[in-house]
Structure 1
Amino acid sequence: MPQRHHQGHKRTPKQLALIIKRCLPMVLTGSGMLCTTANAEEYYFDPIMLETTKSGMQTTDLSRFSKKYAQLPGTYQVDIWLNKKKVSQKKITFTANAEQLLQPQFTVEQLRELGIKVDEIPALAEKDDDSVINSLEQIIPGTAAEFDFNHQRLNLSIPQIALYRDARGYVSPSRWDDGIPTLFTNYSFTGSDNRYRQGNRSQRQYLNMQNGANFGPWRLRNYSTWTRNDQASSWNTISSYLQRDIKALKSQLLLGESATSGSIFSSYTFTGVQLASDDNMLPNSQRGFAPTVRGIANSSAIVTIRQNGYVIYQSNVPAGAFEINDLYPSSNSGDLEVTIEESDGTQRRFIQPYSSLPMMQRPGHLKYSATAGRYRADANSDSKEPEFAEATAIYGLNNTFTLYGGLLGSEDYYALGIGIGGTLGALGALSMDINRLTPNSITSTLFMAINGVRSTSKISRKPTPISLLATIAIPTMAILVLMKPIPAIGTITVAKKVKFNSTSARQYLMG
C-alpha cells in the first residue's frame, strides 16, 4: 500500500482558540497533561499537543490563551454597560495591553455619544472627533474597563463627574407641545342696585375679563375691565400682548403692553418688546438657588443629603469623583449633611454650610431680560411717556457668589447698577450693590442675613437669624435697618434714618 505522508495543517488562531475551548475539559481529566502554578490559581495547557509541523516545531504562539480573559485583538460587536446600565450596542476595536489583555479603543465621537463631557476635559477637547483614545483610564482618573468575552459585554466604570447627566424632572424640548389652537375668556361680573328710603336709587356694575387665543407657539393675551355707575361708564385695557417661547434660549419673547421684572430696577409698565429668560422652562430641580455638592466615592456608593433632619436627595454613584447639581431648594438656609455609604457598608459624612439670598443663582445659570419701548404712565397720571431701553443680568459665578447688574436709559434719565451677593458659610449671606441714578445721585445698599448668631430666646433654644440692611443715598440720606425674628412672637425691627445736614430719626417696630 502506498504510504501517506501527513503534513502539518496550519489553523487560524481563532480555530485554535475554539479547539482549546472544546478540548480543555477533556484534557484536564487526563493524566500528565495538567500543570499548576505554585499557588494553584492558574492552569496551563501545553499547546504543542494541538499544532506542530513535520519537524515537531510549533508554528503559532498560543501563550496568550493561557491567561484569564486573554483573547485576540480585533473588532467585536459588544454590549456596552456604563456604570451598571446598558447604554448601547456597537462595534468596538480592542488592542492588547502589556499583560496581553484586551483594552477598548474609542474615538472622541464615541465618547461623546456615551455622555462623557468631552468639551470640558482638556485632553479630549483639543482632539478631533475621529481621534482614537487607546487608554481612557489615563485621561479620566478613576475609569475602569473590563471586557467579558464570553458574553461579549464591555463593562465601563466612569466617575459621575465626567458624565453629562439630565437634571431630575428634565424633559427634552423636542417633547414640548404647543397645545391645540383655542380661544378662551375668564371673566367675573359684579353689580349692585341700591334703593334708599328717600326714593333715590344707584346702580354699579363691574366686569373683569382676561381673554386669550393660542395658535401654534404664539399666545395672545388681553386684560380689560368695564365699570359703570349712575354718571358714566368706562372700558379700560390694562394690558394686551403677543408672546411666544424661544426654546433654544429658554426664554419668552413679548410684544405689546406689560411690565418689567423689577429684578434690578423698580418695576414699571411699558409698551414695546421684551426678551427675557423664563425659569418655568427649567426642571423644578434647577429653579431657584441650591448649592452644588461635590465629593469622592471610593467604590460604588450611595450618596444621601439631609437638611434639617430630612432626606432631600439620595442617589447611587460609581467610584470616583461625583457632582450633585440638581437639589430642590427647600429653604434659604440650613446646613446640608452629606453621607457617602460605600459598597462595604462604611460611611463618611461631611457638612456643607448653606444660606442664600433671593437674587442668587445656581453656578453657571444666567437670568436676564432685555426691554425696549415706551414708558406707560398710570391711567390718571399726566407723566411723560419717554422711550427707553433696559437690560439686566444675574449670573451664578459659583457656589458662593452671584454677580448682577443692569443698565437703564431714556431721553433725560439713566441708571447703572451692579452688585454681588454671596454666602458667608456658617455665618449667613451678604449682598452689596451700587446704583448710579442720573449724574448727581448714587445709592449704595448692603444687605446681610446673619444665620450663625448664637442668640436664643426663652421660647426657643434654637439659633435665630439677624438681618441687617443698610442703604446710603448720596448726597441725601442714609438708612440702617436691623431685623431680629423672635419665634412665636414676631420680628423686632430697628431702623435709623439719617438725613445729611439734618437731624436723624429712629423707629422701633414689632410685629
Structure 2
Amino acid sequence: MPCPNDTCTPVSPVTRLPPRMLIAALFVCGTSAANANDARTPAAKEALASFNPSLLKSRGIDSRVADYFSHTPRFAAGTRRISLQVNGNPRGTLDARFDSDGQLCFDKALLEQAGLKLPEAGLPNAGCDDFLARYPQTQSTLRPARQEVELVVPAAALRAPDDDSGLYHRGGVGGLVNYDLLGQASEFSGDRRRYYSSSTELGFNADDWIVRSRQSYTVQNGTRNFQNLYTYVQRTFVEHKVLAQAGEINTANSVFPGASITGLQVFPEQALYGKSKQGATVTGIAQGQARVEVRQAGALIYTTLVPPGPFSLTDIPLLNSNTDLDVQVIETNGERRRFNVPAASLVQFNSSAPGYSFAAGKLRTFNAKGMLAPMMATGSGSWRVSPANLLSAGVMLADNDYSAVAWSLGSQLTADTSLNLRNTLSHAGQQQLKGHEVSAALSTQFTERFAGNVNATRRSTGYRELLDTTYTQTSRYRHDRRVDQYGLGLSWSNPLLGGFGLGYSTSLSAGSHKSERLTASWNKNFEHFSVSTNVEHSLGHQAQSAKDRRDNRNYRDYRDDTAVYLSVSVPLGGSRSLRSYANKRDGITRLGASFNDNSNEFASYSVSAERNQQGKRDDLSANANLLPRYTSVSLGYSQSGNDSTSYNGQLRGGVALHGDGVTFSPYPLNDTFAVAKVGDVPGVRLDTPSGPVWTDGTGRAVVAQVPAYQRTNVEVRTTSLPRNLDIQNGYKTVMAGRGSVQALDFPVVTSRRVLLTIAALDGAPLGKGLPVFGAANRFVTTTVEGGKAFITNHDIEAPLTMHMANGGACRLDFSLPDKPDLEVYFEKAQARCTPL
C-alpha cells in the first residue's frame, strides 16, 4: 500500500507485521500525510495524530488499540521491568511505574538507582517527583519494544557523592568472625612433620564504630606460638574527613608510617579523597607444592600454600611500609628458601591525603626477646601545593631520647609518570648517633607497551629508626638493619615477540650482609598454545659461625640460588587447560605436566605428574579448590617417590552476625559489609565486589566487601531464581560509609504466566491482532497467530474481555489448577470467547 503523497516509505506486506509494528506503520503514514510541511509545535502535531479507521478495520485491529498508541511509543500503565540508562551509562534494571498515559514516574527508587538528586523537600516512597519541571533540559526516551528507558540529564541533576556526605548510608549493627585455617602433614624418610596455623579476626560494627581483633596461632611439630596482631576500635568522622583509632594499631602518619603501638591516632580518611592501594605483592618460584610464610617485624602476617612453579601473592596485609618483608618458601620435604623484599619496593598502602595526622602510644614488640617498648608520639601534615604535588612533613619523639623529622613530596610529573621523594633526619640520644635517610621512587609508562620503575634508599651510618633503638645488646636482630636498598623493574610487550619483565633488588645491612635478587619473565600467546619462562636468581654473602650453619642447615637463605621455570599451556576449551613444564634449580631438572579444570563455579581441580631427572624419581600431586557456597576449601595431596607424602587443607571464609541471625560467607568480611535478602528463597546467586555468593535457607547472603565511600553494585542473577518468582528490582547501588552494616532487600513476587489459546464458542480458533482488555478498559495484550495470548499475574484473576474488529466483544473464560507447575516457565490453557 503506497503512502499518501509519497510522504513515507511503504511497508510490505503489512499483513505479516506484528500488531504493534503494524499500528506504528499505519500511524507513520497517517500522521505524515496529515502533517507534511506542518510548522506547528510537536505537541500540536501530536494532538493531530490519527489513524484511518477503515484501514484498521480491514486489518482486524480494534480502534481502541489505535487510540492507546496514537501519541508516541509508550509503556502500558502499571509497573514494568525496564533497563535504565543515564547519560549513556547503564544503571541496571528495576521495576518502574508508568501512569495511564504511559509517562514514567520519577519515584524515590528510580531517582536513587539513577544517581539523581532528590527534591529538597523529600519524597514519599510511593510518590512521584516532578523531575522534568525541576530539570526541564532532561530528555526521556522510552523504548517499550526493548523494555528500556534512557535519560539524558544535565550535570546539575546528578548526585556528587564526593561532595555530599549525606548520601552515604550509615549505621547498622553486626558482628563478624573471619577465619583462615591451614593444616599440613608430611612424611619423608621416616620423619613426620605437622604444621597447623589459624588466623582469625573477631569484631563488630555498631553505629559506624568498628571493633576488630586479629590473632595468629601456629603449631609446628608440637611447638606452639600465639600472637595478637592487633585489637582496636575506630570510627570515621565524615564531616571532618578524618579517621580515629585506639588500641593496638599501626600508625598511618604520612611521613612516619607503620610503627606498631598501643595508643591512639587520628589521620585523614583516605577513602574520602580517592582510592589507595591496600597491600604488597610478593613473587617467587616454588620447587614443588610449598608453604609460603611472610613475616614483618618478627610477626607472621601471611601464610598460604602455592603450587609448583612461579607464584605471585597480592594484597598482603602489611603492618607498615618501611620494614622489610622476610619471605620463606617451605617445601614439603622440609627444605626452606628465604629471601628479603626490601621496604623500598613495598606498595605504600597508606597513601597520603591532605590533612593532619597525630599518634601517641607505647611501641609494640610482638613479644620479641631483647627489645624495649618506649612511649612515642608523632605528628604530621600534608598539603596539596598544586594539583599534581603533595607535600608532607612531620616529627617523631620517644622517651628513650629518640627524635626524628622528615618530609616527603609526591609528584605526578606527567599523566604517566609519578615521583616520590622522602628525607628523614634522626637523633638517637642513648646511642649518641645522628644520621639521615634519603629515598626516591620513580615509575613511568614510557609508551603504551613499555613501563618501568626504580627505587633507591640510602642511609648514613648513624641513621636509626625508632625500632632500631629498641634492640638491646643481646638482641639477635641488631644486625638486620638495612643501610642501602635499590630496586628496578621493567616491562615491555610486543604483539610479535610477547611480553617481557625484569626485576632487580639489592640491599646491604649493617652486619655486612649483602643480598641481591634478580627476576625475569617472558610470555607469548600463540594461536593454539602459550609459552612462559620465569627466572629467579639470588646472591647473598654473610659470614656464619659453625653453629649458625648447623641451625640453618635446612635453609637456603641469602646463598647463591638460581631457578628456571619453562611452561607451555594448551587451552582445551571450557576453562580447561593442559600444561607441561620444565623446572631447574641447583642442577636438578624436573619435567612435568598438569591438567587444570576451572569449568565449574563451585569446584576446580588440577592433577600433575613430575619426573626428577637426576633422582630418577616420579612425583604426583592433586589439588582441589571448592566453593560450597558458604565457605572456601582447598585440598591437596602430593607424593614424591616412595618415601615422601604430604597432605594439606585450607578453610577460609567469614561469618556475619546480625539481628536476623547468622549468615556464612565464602570470603572474609571487610570493615564495611552488607547482608542481602532475596525473599525467603535459598540458592539465589548474587554478584558482589568480592565474587559470587548464594542465599542460605533464610534467603540471606553476605556482601563481604563493600568499598567505603564508593558506589558498589550488587545484582541478583535472575536465572538462578525459581521459575515462578519475579524480582521487583534485582540491582542495587550501595553508597556505604565506613563501618556501616547495610541491609539490602530484594523483594520477590510469585508470578504465574499463562499462554491462552482462545477459541469461539463453537471451538473455531480466533485470529491474530485482537486486543485483550482488563478492568476499566486497560489494554493488556493482543492475540498472535492461532488466537494465542500471553497473560501474567493479576491479569490471570481479573476479568478479561476481547474486542472484535466488527465492534463485538466477548468474555474470556478459562480455568487453571490451584497450584502452578514450577517445572515450566509458563502454563498453557484453553479459553472460550463468550459473547457479552
Given the two structures, how large is their TM-score scaled by the length of structure 2?
0.27
> Greater relative contact order: 1 or 2 (C-alpha under 8 angstroms, separation 6 or more)?
2
User: Could you tell me the TM-score, scaled by structure 1's length?
Assistant: 0.42
